């Protein structure tokens, strides 16, 4: 039951070229910073990354784009990364853009064992091209398939050695559903505690979904765009 590993490098053992990875976070909030840095060091290439966004040019998944380790991005929002734009427009990077709610639900469906579901999002647009559509109660819906990954990399506020996780505030974004949808889920946490220290009502992701856990270090928690109100 002890799922603790020493660090990110040990946690990512088994990740190979051409694998599919889910990477938690929303913008730069709640991203697995240590795991991303370890992927850069590991040098694996041809990755398909499923993530809400692609980081920024010099942080988050942007670091893997700089080193040309990502072959395909499956994302919702990619507007903060100039290198992403350059690679997409030049044909160096394959991109699948998905409505944000649909992306979240496809990840959740993968973890719940639901192979497909209908959603109204994207009907009548390029999103629906080549997909089955069906009418329910006078409204048209698009059939979307689950998303699953070889590895899911998530970041939590607290976790115990059994793999139970607690996410803090906005960091409880794509992390919980991605943690459920990886064949192997790696969780990095800001604070690693002993079993019993987390109240059962606080746990967002049960340890059954997590295979490896480690305590991360040196989190920047960078903000993409800081907007402040003028002093009165």
pLDDT tens, position by position, 173-220: 999 999 999 999 999 999 999 999 999 999 999 999 999 999 999 998
Question: Domain limits of the chain?
Answer: 16-97+148-215
Q: What is the mean pLDDT of residues 99-105?
A: 96
The bridge status of strand 165-166 relative to strand 149-160 is antiparallel
How far apart CA 140 and CA 133 sit, in angstroms, is 7
- Measured in whole angstroms, how far is the alpha carbon of residue 135 from the centre of its chain? 31
Per-residue model confidence as pLDDT tens digits over 155-166: 999 999 999 999
Environment class of residue 103 by beta-carbon count within 10 Å: exposed (0-12), middle (13-18) or buried (19+)? buried
How far apart CA 224 and CA 77 sit, in angstroms, is 13
How far apart CA 212 and CA 185 sit, in angstroms, is 6
Which CATH homologous superfamily contains domain 16-97+148-215?
Glutaconate Coenzyme A-transferase (3.40.1080.10)
- The whole-model pTM stands at 0.93
């Amino acid at each position: 039951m002890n799922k603790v590993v020493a660090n990110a490098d040990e946690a990512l053992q088994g990740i190979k070229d051409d694998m599919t990875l889910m990477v938690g976070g929303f913008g730069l909030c709640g991203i697995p910073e240590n795991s991303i840095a370890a992927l850069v060091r590991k040098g694996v290439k041809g990755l398909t990354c499923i993530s809400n966004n692609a980081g920024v040019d010099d942080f988050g998944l942007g670091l893997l784009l700089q080193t040309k380790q990502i072959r395909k991005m499956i994302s919702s929002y990619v507007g903060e990364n100039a290198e992403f734009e350059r690679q997409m427009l030049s044909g160096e990077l394959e991109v699948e853009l998905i409505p944000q709610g649909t992306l979240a639900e496809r990840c959740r469906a993968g973890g719940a064992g639901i192979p497909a579901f209908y959603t109204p999002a994207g009907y009548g647009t390029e999103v629906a091209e080549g997909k089955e559509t069906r009418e329910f109660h006078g409204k048209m819906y698009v059939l979307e398939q689950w998303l699953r990954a070889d590895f899911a990399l998530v970041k939590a506020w607290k976790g115990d050695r059994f793999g139970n996780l607690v996410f803090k505030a906005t960091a409880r974004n794509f992390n919980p559903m991605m943690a459920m949808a990886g064949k192997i889920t790696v969780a990095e946490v800001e604070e690693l505690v002993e079993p019993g220290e987390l109240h059962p009502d606080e746990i967002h992701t049960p340890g059954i979904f997590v295979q490896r856990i480690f305590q991360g270090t040196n989190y920047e928690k960078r903000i993409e765009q800081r907007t402040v109100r003028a002093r009165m």
